[in-house]
Amino acid sequence: MADTMNRLEAAGFPVSRIPDGQREVLSQLSDDEVRVLTSIKEKLDSAGPDVEGHMRSDDGYVFW
């Protein structure tokens, strides 16, 4: 569980700002699911400034 959250945090997901219920779900992701999320984020990040992720500060939702 902690390893999953550490991996997501290391990949740039602001897990400490995500609501508790969502963190609980994220902590239960399989290794494959974590790889998919981080792979998608890497692709979006490498696309440059035209494709950006945003996190709403009030509820932690991430969208692109």
pLDDT tens digits for range 44-53:
778 766 655 6
Residue 64 clears pLDDT 60, i.e. is over it: no
| Number of neighbouring beta carbons within 10 Å of residue 13 | 20
- Distance between CA 49 and CA 3 in Å, rounded? 30
DSSP strand pairing (62-63 vs 54-55) = antiparallel
pLDDT tens digits for range 19-59:
899 999 999 999 999 999 999 888 877 876 665 566 665 66
DSSP type of residue 51: S
- Number of domains within the chain: 1
> How does residue 61 score in pLDDT terms, banded at 50, 70 and 90?
low
- Predicted pLDDT at 24: 93
Q: Which domain holds residue 22?
A: 2-63
pTM above 0.75, yes or no: no
Asked whether the beta carbons of 9 and 34 are under 8 A apart, the reply is: no
